[in-house]
Structure formats: structure tokens, C-alpha cells
Amino acid sequence: MIISFEGIDGSGKSTQAHRLLHRLANAGYEPLFVREPGGTDVSERIRDLLLDKRNRIDPMAEMLLFSAARAQLVSEEIRPHSRGGGVVICDRFFDSTVAYQGGGRGIADPRWLLDFQETVTGGLVPDRTYYIRVPVDVARERLTHRDSRAGADRMENEDRAFFTRVTEAYDRIAEWAADRVRVIDGARDADAIAKAIWQDVEGLLPERN
């Protein structure tokens, strides 16, 4: 079973993905946790290229690099684990490419990109996607504190209009893929969000051996 977490940077999706990881582990599951881009040697090297703010990357090249990192991650990690009956938690998956490169950058029709991503993953689609939705200003405010310490990466340096377009694209994905995507109000406190997600996940979980 594959569960993905999506949202703009600062939405709190990584917080929720980790909360679910711990909750599943406590319940006796052995989930695989992956983040995108990354998760394999090759994909982590692509991540370094993509997030290094010294690099100027053509938008089409950017989309293909994110997709390349994902194809590698799917074949090396996600597919083998989910085929064996395991639970996989993805901190971002292909909806990020549709929202950021399709919506944010406008490199191609988001609907076309969504179809293309199914080719990238060999047809592998999450069973559930939690889209943690927060207003752009709330996300940026949260990151102000963090980035003053760590420094923003190449993607985080984009302006408010970019993240507004990304949000609009996520909203459209949630409509197109309403069967798998659950929109979660990310402005609430982290405990309340984790509780709502767990209630939903419990109904999806496979039997433990």
C-alpha cells in the first residue's frame, strides 16, 4: 500500500508523514519511508543537483530530473516493498511534479503531466494521498523561522505568485483524483491533523502477518 503526502513547502506535510510513520511502527507495521526527490543513491544525487541554488536548470530539464529521480526510486524501493505487501509512506510523489512543474512553472498542461507521470512510475499510483492545504502566507511564515537557520534551497527561493500557482494546481489534482486524494486543512494544530489522518488510514491498512 502506498500513501503519499503533498502540499507546498511549509504546509507541514513532512511533520504528518513522520507522525504516520511512528504511528504505524507502534501498531506493528514496518513501513518504508521515502522522500522525494531522493531515497536512492542516484535519486539523492539528482536531488543535490535540483536543490542547489547555484544551478540554473531549464524548466523542462527540471521536470525530467524530478521524474528521473522518481523512476529510480520506484524501481529500487517503492515497487519491491509494496509488492511484498508492505506500506510505503512517500513524502511527496508525482503530484508534486504536476503541481510545481505543471502549475508553478507552467511547462506543460497539468493534465498531460499527470498522465505522463503514470508512465514514469510504470502505472504505480498511491492508494491514498493526503494533500495538506495551507494558505501560502501561513506556509511562508512557518518557513521564515526555519530558513533563517538553514538557508532556502533553489525551489524555496520562488516568489509568492509561484506558490499560489502550485496551490491552484494541487486544488485541481484533488478534483481530478478525488478517489485517492484527501484534502486536509493544514492550518489546524498538528495533533488534530494527525488524528484525522490516522482515522482514515486505519480503514485502509492491510492485515498484518
CA torsion 22-125-123-82 (nearest 10°) is 30
**Alpha-carbon gap, residue 15 to 10, rounded angstroms:** 10
Of 11-19, 82-90, 108-116, 173-181: span binding ligand Z5A (CB under 6 A): 11-19
Find the binder of ligand Z5A among 36, 90, 167, 169 (CB under 6 A).
Answer: 36
User: Where do runs of H (alpha helix) occur along the chain?
Assistant: 13-26, 41-51, 59-73, 79-83, 94-97, 110-120, 136-150, 160-176, 190-202
Secondary structure letter of residue 92 according to DSSP: S
H or E element in which residue 33 lies = strand 32-35
Provide the minimum distance between the beta carbon of 51 and ligand Z5A in the complex, in angstroms, as a whole number: 6
Secondary structure letter of residue 50 according to DSSP: H
**Alpha-carbon gap, residue 175 to 169, rounded angstroms:** 10
Q: Is the dihedral of CA 179, 24, 94, 83 positive or negative?
A: negative
Provide the minimum distance between the beta carbon of 28 and ligand Z5A in the complex, in angstroms, as a whole number: 25
Which residue is associated with the grid cell 517503492? 78
Binding mask 128-167 for ligand Z5A (x = CB under 6 A): --------------x---x------x-xx-----------
Our CB check for ligand Z5A shows the closer of 85 and 176 to be 176
Q: Does 22 bind ligand Z5A (CB under 6 A)?
A: no
Find the binder of ligand Z5A among 15, 42, 49, 147 (CB under 6 A).
Answer: 15
Binding mask 63-102 for ligand Z5A (x = CB under 6 A): ---x-------------------------x---xx--xx-
**Rule CB under 6 A: which of 180-199 touch ligand Z5A?**
189-190, 193
Which residues are near ligand Z5A by CB under 6 A? 7, 9-15, 35-37, 66, 92, 96-97, 100-101, 142, 146, 153, 155-156, 189-190, 193
